[in-house]
Structure 1
Amino acid sequence: MPRHGVQYVNNEEPSFIRQFKQRIGHKDAPDINAKHSAPKFDEDSEDEDAPEPEDEKPVVVVLKSGHLTEEEAQAEQTKIDQGPARLDEKIKFKKPTKRGAEVTEESQTSLTEEDEAKKKKKNKLSKKSSSSKPKHNSSLLSFGDEEEDEQG
C-alpha cells in the first residue's frame, strides 16, 4: 500500500490549552530534533569524581581579621558537601569502602584468647591419646588368626 499522499500537519494548540499550560507552568518536552542533536559536554567533566590537584585549588587569602581562614573555608566546604542534595546537579555514585580492613584492637585480643584456649584443649587431648595404650578390639572379625592357631 503506497503512502505517497500522506502528510503530517502540525497545527497550533488551541488558545484554551495554552492558557491551561501557562497557569500550571508546563514546559514543553523536547521535540524529535533535540534527540538527534549532539549532547553538550564540558571538556573537563570526564574526571568529575577525581580529587582536585593541589595547585588548582583556590587559594585562601586573609586580608582582614573578619575574613575566613583556610580551616573555616574547609569546614564550610564540608557543610556544603554533606548538606541536602541539589536536584539540578548530576547524580554521582561513589564506590563503597571495604569493611574487611577495619579490625579493632578489642576484637583482636578476644580472638587471640579464644585461639589460645582452643590450642590448650587440643594439646590436652593429644597428650591423653598418646599416653593411653591402643586398645585391641576383640569384636572385630579376623579369619587369619584361627588358621594360624590350628597350624601351630
Structure 2
Amino acid sequence: MPKPKQGSRHGINYVKNEDPSFIKQFKERIGHKDGPTLDSKRNSSNFEEEEEDDDAPEKEDEKPTVVVIHEGDLTAEEAEKEKKVIEEGPARLDEKITFKKPNKRSQDTTDSTTDSTGTMSSVKKSKESKKKKESLSKKTTNNSLLSFGGEDEDE
C-alpha cells in the first residue's frame, strides 16, 4: 500500500456530524452541556488580557492578607524559641517514638579532624583504607570474565 504524498494531506478536512439519537437522549437525561468552543476560548482570552489593567478590581484570592498582632500573640521569633524548647526538652513517654535523619557532615570538617596528639582521626584512616582496598580490587579483576559495564574495554 503506497503512502500518501506530503502534498496530498492538505486536502484533508474534518466534518462534524450530529450525535446519534441515543447519545442525544443520554445527554438530555444527565443534563450535559457542551464545553467551550475554540472561538469562545479565543474571545475569553482576549477579554482577560484587556482586564489586566492596574485599575481593575482585584480578585478575592489575590487581595493582600492583613494580620493584626495583639499583645498576647506570639511573634515568629517567639514561636521558633518555643519549638526549640519543645524539641530539646525531656522525652514524652506517652507519644509515638520518631527518629530523625542525622545531619550530613561536610567533607572539609571530617578530613581535617585530628586527635589531641596530632595524629589523623580514625575516620580519615578508615576512608584511606577503603580507597586502597577498592584500588586493589580493581587491579585484580579477571580479564577473561565478561563485563557489561563498559569501563575497561581494551578491544
TM-score, normalised relative to structure 1:
0.33
Does 1 or 2 have the higher relative contact order (CA < 8 Å, sep 6+)?
A: 1
TM-score, normalised relative to structure 2:
0.32
Answer with 1 or 2: which has the greater Rg: 1
